[in-house]
Amino acid sequence: MQAAARKVVIHSAGGHDKLKVEHASVPAPGPGQVRIDVKAIGVNYADAIIRMGLYASAKELVGWPITPGFEVAGTIGAVGEDVRDLKVGDAVLAVTKFGGYASHVVVDRPYVFAKPAALSFEQAAALSAVYMTAWYALFELAHPRRGAKVLVHSAAGGVGSALVQMAKRVGCEVTGVVGRSAKVAVVEGLGADHVIDKSTQDLWRQAKRIAPQGFDVILDANGVSTLGASYRALRRTGKLVVYGFSSMMPKTGGKPNYPKLAIDYVRTPRFNPLDMTNDSKSVLAFNLSYLFDRVDLLQEAMRDIFAWIDAKQIAAPQVTTYPLGDVARAHADIESGTTTGKLVLVP
């Protein structure tokens, strides 16, 4: 008799205590679907924002209750009647539109990929969301040329570490920004040409020294704390790519500070098209969870990422693992800003 499934369920917005591990029946795949028996689950900062009730696509597409999670790795446990190219026991990774924090997940076939043999299940589960975010930011939006000066905020994190490696792969001069001295060596190890430790250095003074004429591309998920200065640090024709607003969120306690959110919302820069035209600078932004219908982009990104890893042009993510029952600790750690690489739950 098959054991019951386990999944993390959030019934209402709030702190870490809202993450409940519950039992459920093992799901069955329908036509065009597979069931994955999950061995590892990627944790993303967005999952914490979902828990706080502040993630727009989660509220729009799912509502409460919700099981967070955008990426898993494991083995095929069952296939739908018309799935012919995968079989029970195959090692795979998958992208999920929420629902990934579970021991068993059902996924539509186009979002499932064979796991590269060189990757552990934990590395494979850590791959999709952050590497696709970096790929989309750089190659669909920014299109940096060889020799371009690129600045990456939060360069030791999951997306940041992928951005550093991908930008170096295409010949850019990369500056990584970190918030703790312990992270400098991590970013240097990823290949960054320069690392700014903003805990001990003046960020924008150092940036000006590195790129006196400004940067060609700046990638910023901080939000209000750096957006305005990031825009000013671009050269003419420069591009600011925005994919998050982490500085608006709490680093401890797990609950949003609504007065601070309101103040930060008012303080967030508004970019006027007239000024941007005169400045000859661009601001580009996206939320990957709204791009789920773009299977063409997903599959192109994964083909590139797998090829680069196979050729050792980029490295698999550095991972830190937690049992599924320690999901609250994983959320607290990723919110703290002290982690590097990716956090992974192991059910």
- Here the CATH number for the domain that contains residue 172 is 3.40.50.720
Does any domain span residue 100? yes
**pLDDT given for residue 1 in this prediction:** 41
The list of the chain residues with pLDDT below 70 reads 1-3
Domain end (from 273, 289, 305): 289
238 neighbors 218 (Cβ within 8 angstroms): yes
Does residue 69 sit in the same domain as residue 144? no
Residue 49 in any domain: the answer is yes
C-beta of residue 308 within 8 angstroms of C-beta of residue 169 = yes
d(CA 179, CA 152): 12
User: Number of folded domains in the chain?
Assistant: 2
The answer to the question of residue 306 being in a domain is no
Same domain, 38 and 92: yes
Q: Which two tokens stand for residue 86?
A: 């995968």
Give the residues across from 76 on adjacent strands: 36
One domain for residues 275 and 326: no
Residues 47, 94, single domain; the answer is yes
* Total count of residues recorded for the chain: 347
> What pLDDT is stored for residue 2 in this prediction?
53
33-43 and 112-114 beta bridge pairing: unpaired
- What lies within 8 Å, CB to CB, of 193 at 6+ separation is 173, 174, 175
Name the domain boundary from 240, 273, 289: 289
Contact between 124 and 116 under an 8 Å Cβ cutoff? The reply is yes
Residue 122 CB coordination number (10 Å): 22
Same domain, 269 and 154: yes
- Domain of 153 in residue numbering reads as 130-289
In this structure, the answer to whether residues 139 and 240 fall within a common structural domain is yes
Residue 93 C-beta-side C-alpha neighbours within 13 Å: 24
Residue 292: predicted pLDDT: 86
Report if residue 10 sits inside a domain. Answer: yes
In a domain, 302, yes or no: no
**Structural domain includes residue 144:** yes
What's the pLDDT at 4?
85
Same domain, 135 and 222: yes
Judge if 322 and 255 occupy the same domain. Answer: no
Nearest alpha carbon to residue 339 among 126, 192, 54? 126
Predicted model pTM: 0.93
How does DSSP assign 302-315, residue by residue?
A: HHHHHHHHHTTSSP
Look at residue 3 in the predicted model and tell me its pLDDT: 65
Full DSSP string of 257-297:
-HHHHHHHHHHS----HHHHHHHT-EEEE--GGGGTT-HHH
In this structure, are 261 and 224 located in the same domain?
yes
Residue 105 shares a structural domain with residue 182: no
Question: Is residue 172 situated within a structural domain?
Answer: yes
Same domain, 137 and 279: yes
CA 64, distance to chain mean position in Å, is 22
Please spell the DSSP secondary structure of 329-344, one letter per residue.
Answer: HHHHHHHHT---BEEE
Q: Residue 104: which CATH number?
A: 3.90.180.10
Flag whether 297 is in a domain.
no
Based on the fold, state whether residues 149 and 270 are members of the same structural domain.
Answer: yes
Give the Å distances, CA to CA, from 151 to 163, 168, 171, 234: 10, 11, 14, 10
